[in-house]
Amino acid sequence: MTISEQQLDNLIESVPNYLTEKNVIELSSKSDWDILSCRWFVWKFKYGIKSSLTAYASVQFNKVYLPDLSMLGVTRFASIGSRKQKKNLEKLSKEMGKYNLEPQYKDLATSYIDYLTITSVKYLAQGNNELLLSIINPNTFLDTLDGWTQTIFSQGGDGNEEVGEKVWDPYELQNWLEQHISDKNHKIEEENKKTNEKQVKLIYPYSFDILKDKKMISPL
């Protein structure tokens, strides 16, 4: 089903509010990650969905979206530099959580979330809304994420492939993650040539193995 421009705008506006602390707690109860790391994952995920939807809408409907100042604590009732903005930033800091696993895997974990959000919106763009709408629904988020995680990290397919259909291999995702980080680092290098404020390049651990190190990038 094709999504309309208005439906997409509504989704972009509201999607960060769908997943809440309740979903963080549910994820934590099934994960080996601590509550702060699960909070970090959910935060990155829901705002990654918003970012991917915004990018899709920009191309699909030739629209320009202004930066989301609420991420800086700025709202109609909290101007820049105000006490209210400071309180909003403190609240945001708590909601964002923290990646508490081995630090060298944080960029990989972030890129894995990018893969989930980009893929969800890619299916939406192709007319398949089911995955996206299920994974942002607070009532089906955990089950959808769990099922998708099992599929992503399983070798040999599920036996339901159609004739001629390529069997999924999780090492394809590892290649995607490596390329994703490489592309981002290339952009960082180009930006660093233009400014004195140098950005730090992302880390891709040379020994990373997506099956052995699954728990470093996925909470399930």
pLDDT tens across 117-175, in order? 999 999 999 999 999 999 999 999 999 999 999 999 998 766 665 666 678 899 999 99
Which pLDDT does position 162 carry in this prediction? 60
Whether 88 maps to a domain, the answer reads no
Domain limits for position 139: 5-62+97-158+167-217
Whether 144 maps to a domain, the answer reads yes
Look up the pTM and report it. Answer: 0.90
- Does the pLDDT at position 107 exceed 70? yes
Whether 106 maps to a domain, the answer reads yes
Single-letter residue type at 66? L
At which residue do the structure tokens 């969905």 appear? 49
Dig out the tokens for 5 from the structure. 């421009």
Whether 87 maps to a domain, the answer reads no
Q: Which one, of 112, 114, 143, 155, lies nearest residue 27 by Cα?
A: 143
Which pLDDT does position 83 carry in this prediction? 72
Whether 83 maps to a domain, the answer reads no
State the total domains in the chain. 1
Mean pLDDT of the chain: 89
Whether 79 maps to a domain, the answer reads no
